[in-house]
Structure 1
Amino acid sequence: MGVRMRLTALETVNEEGSWLFTVRNRNGERKEVIVVPCDGGVEAWSNRCTHEAQPFDTGRGAPIRNAEIVCPRHGSMFDACSGKCDNGPAADTTLPGVEVELEDGDVYLTDDDVQFLHEGGIDDGDDGPSSTSHISF
């Protein structure tokens, strides 16, 4: 289904802190994915917290602190390299990943289970998260 495709430059991910794009999975569903820095490279994760499916990036970049992706609604923190969460309402869960590779400073989508649709998120008219977290950015 998927084809190896250049997404963006590592420099862009590092400068912006994350990079958002939309894919279609094998079931025909559109899904948002974020590319985040990880130990000099990158990883790609579903743009949804495992607790209540809250989006991390609502068009302003994913909130990342100390190499952890932060859920803007309840503050659960996911390791940017492993996708694992060990705190808050999402504790003991792991973000679904999407396969990407870094080559010569560019990020490539390599996941055969998804098809790249476009840069940015699904335009669903959502006004963003309704935060109950004590964490501010």
Structure 2
Amino acid sequence: MSDRTRLTTLETVHDEGSWLFTIRDQYGEPDEAILVPCEDGIEAWINRCTHEAQRFDTGRGVAMRDGQIICPKHGSMFDSCSGYCDNGEAAETTLSAVEITVDDEIVYLTDDGVTFAHEGGTDAEDDDDGPESTSHIGF
């Protein structure tokens, strides 16, 4: 069995509707992941739509309806249990999973490909000061 890192409680994910955390890949690069409730318990996914790297949770929680994660940019909806999308711009794609285990109501990160960095999104110094833009105009 792989090492496991305590993340949060099952109750917290269900009460808050989602839980955002930062992980690092084998090269130390940060990425965000989300825990979301589903009918089978909870699941963990990379915090990014498969269509256009749009974050589901920008720090205010994941928008969900009827057991589906909603992409805030184009409205594609992903099943919270399987990660599969059958509609919109991201149709026929599946979210990237992050392995977790629930033991006695505690959620653990058990994915051998990543390490836990911290609760919440990526550090401010890793992000730009504003939204992405393709405009040639600077402010």
User: Normalised by the shorter chain, which TM-score bucket?
Assistant: 0.7 to 0.9
Distance across 1 between alignment mates of 2:8 and 2:74: 30
Could you say if the C-alpha distance between residues 128 and 56 of structure 1 is closer, same or farther in structure 2, counting changes exceeding 3 Å? farther
Relative distance call for 1:55 and 1:64 in structure 2 (3 A) is same
Aligned partner of residue 117 in structure 2, secondary structure: strand
- Checking the alignment, whether the CA contact within 8 Å between 1:3 and 1:115 is kept in structure 2 is no
Distance 1:86 1:59 in 2: 26
Secondary structure, aligned partner of 1:12:
helix
The amino acid that maps onto 2:80 is: A
Amino acid paired to 1:24: R
Percent of residue pairs bearing the same amino acid type = 62
- Partner of 2:52, secondary structure, is coil
Q: Which residue of 2 is the match for residue 73 of structure 1?
A: 73
The alignment covers a number of residue pairs equal to 129
Over the residues paired in the alignment, what is the CA RMSD in angstroms? 1.8
Q: How far apart, in 2, do the equivalents of 1:48 and 1:24 lie?
A: 15
Amino acid at match of 1:120: G
5+ residue gaps in structure 2?
133-139
Q: Which residue of 1 aligns with 2:91?
A: 91
Which residue is 2:137 aligned to?
A: none
Runs of 4+ residues deviating >6 angstroms: none
Contact 2:40 2:81 in 1 (8 A): no
Query: Quick one: distance in 2 between partners of 1:8 and 1:23?
Result: 14
In structure 1, the partner of 2:44 is: 44
Residues 54-101 of structure 1: CA deviation (Å, up to 9, x unaligned): 000000001011000000010000000000000000001000000001
Per the alignment, residue 133 of structure 1 pairs with: none
Pairing of 1:1-137 with structure 2 (within 5 A): 3-122=3-122, 123=124, 124-125=127-128
User: What letter corresponds to residue 87 of structure 2 in structure 1?
Assistant: N
Larger-gyration structure (1/2): 2
Q: Which residue of 2 aligns with 1:132?
A: none
Q: Distance in 2 between matches of 1:20 and 1:83?
A: 16
5+ residue gaps, structure 1, are 130-137
